[in-house]
Amino acid sequence: MASIPDGQVRQAAADRRGRRERIRSKPGLGQVYRLGVFLAGLAFIALGLALAVLPGPLTIPPVLVGLWIWSTEFRFAERFFDSFKDKAREAWAHAKRHPHSATAVTAGGLVAAGLAIWAVSRYELVSRAQAVVGL
């Protein structure tokens, strides 16, 4: 597999920056672009938070992707992205040092999530909660 010369990599990055600047310079299109970046990042962060019910480092990669997407457009996200990157490295190093316990905790979390899904559907907990709330 041939590697890409550094000059081509730098040129591609410059082209991307130029395209973004052209999009940002147009008032209506710039706002639509920022909204799209926000929604794409939010989707990945929401996925990461949804995975938070599972123990282990499963929640970190989608959150990192969401923060990376946001950090391309929003300065505040760069700080969070850098801190999450550090936490992801720590979690990965911990999982590599303790592979058996990380596997057991993750498998236990998957079983617990499966049991929770089964219980919600088996005992119709959603419809019962709606009845209690009055929906």
Instruction: Give the tens place of pLDDT for each residue, 85-107.
Output: 888 889 889 889 999 988 888 88
Distance CA 85, CA 60 (A): 9
Query: What average pLDDT does range 20-37 have in this prediction?
Result: 84
Is residue 57 helix, strand or coil? helix
Q: Check whether 9 has a pLDDT greater than 60.
A: no
* Residue 99: closest CA among 107, 110, 109, 89: 107
Taking a C-beta distance cutoff of 8 angstroms, is the pair 38, 44 a contact? no
Query: What average pLDDT does range 66-70 have in this prediction?
Result: 89
Whole-structure pTM value: 0.52
Helices in the chain by DSSP H: which ranges?
A: 6-25, 27-50, 60-71, 75-97, 99-122, 125-133
